[in-house]
Amino acid sequence: MNSKAAPLRDEFPLLAAAPELRYLDSAATAQIHRSALDAVVRHETTRRANVLRGTYRLAEAADIAYAQARQTAARFLNAGSTDEIIFTSGATASLNLVAHAFGNTLKAGDRVLISLAEHHSNFVPWQMLRERTGIELNFIPVTSGGELDLVALPRLIDARTRLVAVTQCSNVTGAWTDVAAIVAAAREVGARVLLDGAQGVQHGPQDVQALGVDFYAFSGHKCFGPGGVGVLWGRGELLAKLPPFLTGGGMIASVTPQATTWALPPQRFEAGTPPIAQAVGLAAALDWMMTLDWQQIHARESRLCELLIEGLQRIPTLRLLGPAPSAARAPIVSFEISGLHPHDICQVLDAHQLALRGGHHCAQPLLAALGVEACTRASIALYNDESDVLALLDGLTFALKELR
């Protein structure tokens, strides 16, 4: 591997304009691709209008663009139908939608199984559902490496389990979930599976049919698209049975003083004006992603991740969090340095044009299970290169001298 700039870096406007920036926080927000930004600007300047029921040409053009965005998201996920694609404001909204809509079909004594590795967005909604309805909430423990401890699965899932809601990939440790094992165990008892794909989509198109899950949620800003937009995919037969989450315009079939009837999915779950331009921009990002050689990208990201881990292991008093270095993992590397707070580390690194994230990463139950309160996280994406990793290692050497 050479130290030349990543070949894709110039395709991201912010990175192209700031060649000195070492951006290593893509697990929080990936940079927007030029095609996505151009698509948003083009939509807002040539066909900005509301969708559904507009009878003038501008509104019809917006309708077409929005429908095409739904088609693109369906292709990216290998959905069975475009009607299975629901646009939301992000993965958080998608997960809350399931917790409310599917949660309304549950009763006291039913069980939902989540894990201690979840982002708060796939943790807190289920706690609130427990408070509202009296469901039981069980937790898959994690190993010392932050991976889901599936040895415990047989005793945690039973005939009362209605849903298993887990992350596809940890936003702290980079540990991938064995989705096949989760799905197999759920199917044995007739439970459904919700997969939080917020950290999965950055690493290429997904196949919900092959994954075998029932719901899949992700955010546009995690996969090189705009912020403020996300997708919830759900099996058509399930969506048809679920009540709406939010109510208002666009999600009804009819309203009278006596009663309201709901529109069919996906409109049933898209109350109000949807994120139209953002969905169009997201579609452009997904179209671009579907043209890439992901095998090559994964190999490159893995080499960078290995280089980073090797360098971090040479730093005294540094503890790596996550799977063993030899394990398959997403290029997300978190660590703690004894006696130094992650916020202080990140501030020193920022002075050296290194953008990392420090804190609990909205995953306090996971960090508690790993025995830490906060950690520093570096996340590598397809626009990073060897020079970014080496700059980080040099920056940490300086930070150690500066802060001690």
pLDDT category at 6 given cuts 50, 70, 90 is: low
pLDDT tens digits, 62-112:
999 999 999 999 999 999 999 999 999 999 999 999 999 999 999 999 999
Please, are residues 333 and 320 in contact by the beta-carbon 8 Å criterion?
A: yes
pLDDT recorded at residue 2: 40
* 340/220 Cα distance (integer angstroms): 33
pTM of the model: 0.96
First to last CA, the chain: 34
The three-class DSSP label of residue 391 is: helix
Average pLDDT over residues 312-334: 91
Name the average pLDDT for the chain. 96
* 305/134 Cα distance (integer angstroms): 43
* 128/140 Cα distance (integer angstroms): 18
Nearby residues of 96 by Cβ (< 8 Å), 6 or more positions away: 121, 125, 245
pLDDT tens digits, 189-222:
999 999 999 999 999 999 999 999 999 999 999 9
pLDDT recorded at residue 312: 97
pLDDT recorded at residue 51: 96
pLDDT recorded at residue 328: 81
pLDDT tens digits, 216-253:
999 999 999 999 999 999 999 999 999 999 999 999 99
Q: What angle do CA 212, 218, 220 make, to 5 degrees?
A: 140
Pick the CATH number of 9-24+293-403 from 3.40.190.10, 3.90.1150.10, 3.40.50.720, 3.50.50.60: 3.90.1150.10
Please, are residues 32 and 12 in contact by the beta-carbon 8 Å criterion?
A: yes
Locate CATH 3.40.640.10 in the chain: 36-289
pLDDT recorded at residue 375: 98
DSSP class of residue 5 equals P
Q: What angle do CA 159, 96, 89 make, to 5 degrees?
A: 145
pLDDT category at 5 given cuts 50, 70, 90 is: very low
Percent of the chain with pLDDT over 70: 98
Q: Nearest-CA neighbor of 321 among 337, 341, 307, 306?
A: 337
pLDDT tens digits, 330-373:
999 999 999 999 999 999 999 999 999 999 999 999 999 999 99
Q: Nearest-CA neighbor of 170 among 401, 402, 369, 398?
A: 369
Domain 36-289: CATH architecture, name and number where available: 3-Layer(aba) Sandwich (3.40)
Query: Residue 362 catalytic?
Result: yes
pLDDT category at 156 given cuts 50, 70, 90 is: very high
The DSSP annotation for 161-221 comes to EEEEEEESB-TTT-BBP-HHHHHHHHHHHT-EEEEE-TTTGGGS---HHHHT-SEEEEEGG
pLDDT at 259 over 90: yes
* 40/276 Cα distance (integer angstroms): 9
Nearby residues of 169 by Cβ (< 8 Å), 6 or more positions away: 175, 176, 177, 199, 200, 203, 330, 332
pLDDT tens digits, 160-177:
999 999 999 999 999 999
pLDDT tens digits, 90-104:
999 999 999 999 999
Catalytic member of 223, 305, 346, 362? 362
Nearby residues of 187 by Cβ (< 8 Å), 6 or more positions away: 212
Q: Which long-range contacts (CB under 8 A, 24 or more apart) does 140-144 make?
A: 140/113, 140/114, 140/115, 140/116, 140/166, 141/115, 141/116, 141/369, 142/115, 142/116, 142/117, 142/366, 142/369, 142/370, 144/370
* 31/224 Cα distance (integer angstroms): 5
Distances (CA, A) of 170 to 115, 156, 183, 196: 11, 20, 18, 10
3-state SS string for 8-50: CHHHCHHHHHCCCCEECECCCCCCCCHHHHHHHHHHHHHCCCC
Average pLDDT over residues 389-398: 97
pLDDT recorded at residue 58: 97
Locate CATH 3.90.1150.10 in the chain: 9-24+293-403
pLDDT tens digits, 287-311:
999 999 999 999 999 999 999 999 9
